[in-house]
Structure 1
Amino acid sequence: MKRIFFQYAYGNGPRSECWWDTMAEIAANSVLKGEISCDVVIVGAGFTGLSAAYHLARAGASVAILEANSVGWGASGRNGGFCCLGGAKASDAALDRRVGQAGRIEWRQTEKAAVALVDTLLSDLALDVDRHSMGETCLAHRPRDARSFDRQCARVEENYGVTPDVLASDELSSAGMSGPFHGAMTIPVGFALNPRKFVAGMLAAAVSEGARVFDQSAVTKIDSDGVSTALGRVSAKQVILATNGYSSEDVPPAMAGRYMPAQSTVIVTRPLEEAELAAQGWTSDQMAYDSRNLLHYFRLMPDRRFLFGMRGGILSSDRSEAASRARVIRDFRNMFPAWADVAIPHVWSGLVCLTRGLVPFAGPLGKHPNVLAGFAYHGNGVAMGTHTGKVLAELALGQKPDLYPRVMKDPARRFPLSGLRRALMPPLYALYALDDFRP
């Protein structure tokens, strides 16, 4: 495979010590050997691929899933577990310029519907995923960010039809959200979950509907009649690419050069005692993030372990992984000083995915109408990846998806520098960091 990060990013090093791996057992599947046929072959067994497989198989299609490693090995099995609004990083103004106000509202309502889809799946499939949090809270890391909450509330009401709850800095302590914050805004949409338990549940659901799953079966070739691996081939009428940030440049030309992997690092502490929670003043079950461009995201989980993550890590090697892990631990201890000596037994990283236009893509790839792809959820793939999988399933079945906004339909634009596009990340991150430090 031809990939744009160093090979270390695609090995087991970054996901070592991942807390989720201890929380849900996913049995190994067989390796694809020989030739099989089906209606739709799916490449990638994360949120997108499993959702597509479940919805296709439930509709009566024969489905095979090929995973290069094991189910949930990529970002779907190592993220922060935030099922929330998002999927794009483009601002309202940028969306208005691109698709108009109606198109922007259509997209924002799709974000909301994506969360509702996960909620429905959890209910219909009776999945226990350690759910908690009533919506998602943004914490202002500067006074001017807190002053902008009133303006943001108006946009939230227009986009999503819900009213946020705003807290002033002197109200945070009573809400159990003490820290170096200047206010909070909670949007009452979304919840937190254990992503590996969700992956395991979706896998079981897809298999129960008849989907076949193959591990350690990396795709080496995609053509008009299916896909090939080192040891086998799947002949299919439709192909769905669901590899997101773990894609390679060997994909069809209409996708190559149009996605940008970016790293995110997560820690999980040991369980915190009630006295320790009280000492820091953080007792809330809300999933939260701060208002930085290079944001921190965090939540107190039901077992009272604390999860904390951040964007970053531009290089990929043993040394750079160690530096990223040290940086996230440093930021955690600075933000929550009462926990400065709390043990952190679990640290890991994974790849999220961006596009040049900062919006996701779902649909056929250029001159390959039978090859569909969905990618680039900009760090919010729990809900949007699941929704995208459903959209791709409906497209593969020849149906018109109920919620398929123009934002997702427009082909992703190629990045400058193509195969060298990672060189764009350091200056971009530097600009974001400078803005974050600006009062």
Structure 2
Amino acid sequence: MYDPYISRALSRNQPDVASYWQSITPPGKHFDALQTDISCDVLVIGGGYTGLNCAYELANTHQRNVVLVDALQPGWGCSGRNGGFVLRGTGRLGLSQLVTKFGLDTARLFHQEYGEAIARVNQLIVAGNIDCQQQPVGYYKIAHKAGMAADLARQATFLQQQFGYQAQYLDTRQLQQQVVRHRQAHAALSFPDCYGLNPLALAHGYARMASEAGATLYGQTPVNRLKRRNGVFEVATPEGIITAKKLVLATNAYTAKGLYPALNNSCLPVLSSVIVTEPLNSTQLQQLNWQQNSIMMDTRTLKYYYRLLPDNRILFGGRGAITGKAAANPIYAQRLLAALKRCFGGLEQLTYQYQWSGWVGVSFDDLPRVCSPEPDLFYAAGYCGSGLSYSTLAGKRLAQLVAGQPLPALPIYQSTLPRFPMSAFRRQGQQLYYHWGRFKDHFL
């Protein structure tokens, strides 16, 4: 499996992801490879949610001559293989942590921006008539230990009083009766504007919208190298050189080691693994009492996330291998299946039919950035596995930055990603963190 921690380039000859989303989603438009030298105002590298939204906004709102290239096809990376959780937030810091770090006023601006991210996803789905199987709203943060219940109750009060956000606390009885019968759930915090969808269908919709707005998209066009010459960027691809006045890196966790080292060294690629089970039968569904296809995530340090899909399968995800070489080892899927069965009773004979992995971009300070590290070069990255909604907005913010417009007064728009200390040893630090997380989740 492609590993951005060690690979100097992303080849266009990558194996098929073979995900559940690929099996149920009609193919999107195929974008041909670039075959000649071209020039443009803005070149966007990366065809995920960020890059597609940046290209769409630049073409649709700012009337720029914009070209987007992807090494494979739009949505091949994390945008097409994630769990499909539309969440109010990004990074790994909750609002209470943001208050401690930046103060209440700034935390409220973060909350407002996160709400704007969900609103943008919703608006684009309508504007583009994107069929991405939106499910009813309902996201539940699950207390995996009894001791976490009181903390969720405090969070509910905090969100209601300080942010006017109607998160609701559910005790064990309410959760079992109203949401799902869960053997490891001791309470839950309900978020009223979050929901699940088909992430690959959403990516296909964004690609179509960008193309129809006037952006030129190329697939199967990896970037071999980039350099500045005479005040412009020269970007080499296998069959052509692109000359651009401005350059946007929308590669996040898939940033190859040799593409732009400053970004690669500031964004740790972490594998998230996903399984999707066979469909549940009527007896299993009745036993679970899983209502409204709700999306869920627990309070573990090494979190599990899961949802009941429209065809009555369970999607269950969590951390996987450390390296791309080990990603296909079946032990990681088996661990997820075992964890699923510990959560839900009556599924002893259940098996999984799909298993895949993808790279999540983790920043050193647990916050993303949308920034310009040097003149006429821009990037957005570091969503920490919580980027479906925010990366959509980040694309718009990138376009505004390219166009010279001011961004909201948030710290994530005022600095670059901090480099990991001793970045060559990030994976060793990740292994230690995983050991600590497993110990904490089990014993503390």
How far did 1:327 drift?
1.3
Compared CA separation, residues 234 and 12, structure 1 to 2 (3 A): closer
Moved more, 123-132 or 46-55: 123-132
How far did 1:32 drift?
1.3
How far did 1:104 drift?
2.2
SS for the counterpart of 1:364 is strand
Compared CA separation, residues 334 and 5, structure 1 to 2 (3 A): farther
In 1, distance between residues paired with 2:161 and 2:321?
35
Moved more, 222-231 or 315-324: 315-324
Q: Which of 184, 191, 195 does residue 191 from structure 1 map onto? A: 195
Q: Structure 2 matches for 1:96-245, cutoff 5 A? A: 96=99, 98-157=101-160, 160-180=163-183, 181-224=185-228, 225-226=232-233, 227-245=235-253
Compared CA separation, residues 319 and 157, structure 1 to 2 (3 A): closer
How far did 1:246 drift?
0.6
- The superposition leaves residues 369-420 of structure 1 with CA deviations (integer Å, 9 ceiling, x where unpaired) of 201000011111110110110000111112223x462234322111122233
SS for the counterpart of 1:337 is coil
Map of 1:327 onto structure 2: 335
> Which residue identity does 2:54 align to in structure 1?
A
Map of 2:18 onto structure 1: 17
Compared CA separation, residues 134 and 47, structure 1 to 2 (3 A): same
In 2, distance between residues paired with 1:78 and 1:415?
26
In 1, distance between residues paired with 2:117 and 2:417?
21
Q: TM-score, normalised by structure 1?
A: 0.93
Q: Which of 384, 392, 403 does residue 397 from structure 1 map onto? A: 403
In 1, distance between residues paired with 2:9 and 2:321?
12
Compared CA separation, residues 320 and 269, structure 1 to 2 (3 A): closer
In structure 1, stretches of 5+ residues that fail to align are none
Query: Is the Cα–Cα contact under 8 Å of residues 8 and 258 in structure 2 kept in the other structure?
Result: no
SS for the counterpart of 2:257 is coil
How far did 1:171 drift?
1.9
In 2, distance between residues paired with 1:69 and 1:108?
34
Compared CA separation, residues 44 and 50, structure 1 to 2 (3 A): same
SS for the counterpart of 2:64 is coil
Q: Structure 2 matches for 1:13-412, cutoff 5 A? A: 16-22=17-23, 23-59=25-61, 60-92=63-95, 94-96=97-99, 98-157=101-160, 160-180=163-183, 181-224=185-228, 225-226=232-233, 227-318=235-326, 321-365=329-373, 368-401=374-407, 403=408, 405-412=410-417
How far did 1:84 drift?
0.6
> Which residue identity does 2:389 align to in structure 1?
A
> Which residue identity does 1:260 align to in structure 2?
L
In 2, distance between residues paired with 1:285 and 1:66?
35
Aligned CA-pair RMSD: 2.3
> Which residue identity does 1:30 align to in structure 2?
D
Compared CA separation, residues 249 and 16, structure 1 to 2 (3 A): closer
SS for the counterpart of 2:350 is coil
Query: Is the Cα–Cα contact under 8 Å of residues 8 and 318 in structure 1 kept in the other structure?
Result: no
In 2, distance between residues paired with 1:396 and 1:186?
37
Compared CA separation, residues 80 and 67, structure 1 to 2 (3 A): same
- The superposition leaves residues 131-168 of structure 1 with CA deviations (integer Å, 9 ceiling, x where unpaired) of 11313111111111111122111332356421212211
> Which residue identity does 2:237 align to in structure 1?
T
> Which residue identity does 1:182 align to in structure 2?
H
> Which residue identity does 2:219 align to in structure 1?
D
How far did 1:47 drift?
0.5
SS for the counterpart of 1:34 is coil
Compared CA separation, residues 9 and 17, structure 1 to 2 (3 A): farther
- The superposition leaves residues 104-126 of structure 1 with CA deviations (integer Å, 9 ceiling, x where unpaired) of 22122211211111011112222
How far did 1:431 drift?
1.3
In 1, distance between residues paired with 2:340 and 2:162?
32
How far did 1:354 drift?
0.7
Query: Is the Cα–Cα contact under 8 Å of residues 65 and 212 in structure 1 kept in the other structure?
Result: yes
In 2, distance between residues paired with 1:156 and 1:84?
15
Moved more, 290-299 or 72-81: 290-299
In 1, distance between residues paired with 2:278 and 2:119?
31
Compared CA separation, residues 17 and 175, structure 1 to 2 (3 A): same
Query: Is the Cα–Cα contact under 8 Å of residues 44 and 248 in structure 2 kept in the other structure?
Result: yes
Query: Is the Cα–Cα contact under 8 Å of residues 273 and 355 in structure 2 kept in the other structure?
Result: yes
SS for the counterpart of 1:263 is strand
> Which residue identity does 1:405 align to in structure 2?
L
> Which residue identity does 1:295 align to in structure 2?
K
How far did 1:319 drift?
6.9
How far did 1:214 drift?
1.1
In 2, distance between residues paired with 1:211 and 1:363?
22
Q: Which of 401, 424, 432 does residue 419 from structure 1 map onto? A: 424
Moved more, 419-428 or 387-396: 419-428
In structure 2, stretches of 5+ residues that fail to align are none
Compared CA separation, residues 118 and 300, structure 1 to 2 (3 A): same
SS for the counterpart of 2:37 is strand
Query: Is the Cα–Cα contact under 8 Å of residues 95 and 111 in structure 2 kept in the other structure?
Result: no
Compared CA separation, residues 348 and 7, structure 1 to 2 (3 A): farther
> Which residue identity does 2:178 align to in structure 1?
A
In 2, distance between residues paired with 1:326 and 1:340?
13
How far did 1:39 drift?
1.3
How far did 1:186 drift?
0.2
Q: TM-score, normalised by structure 2?
A: 0.92
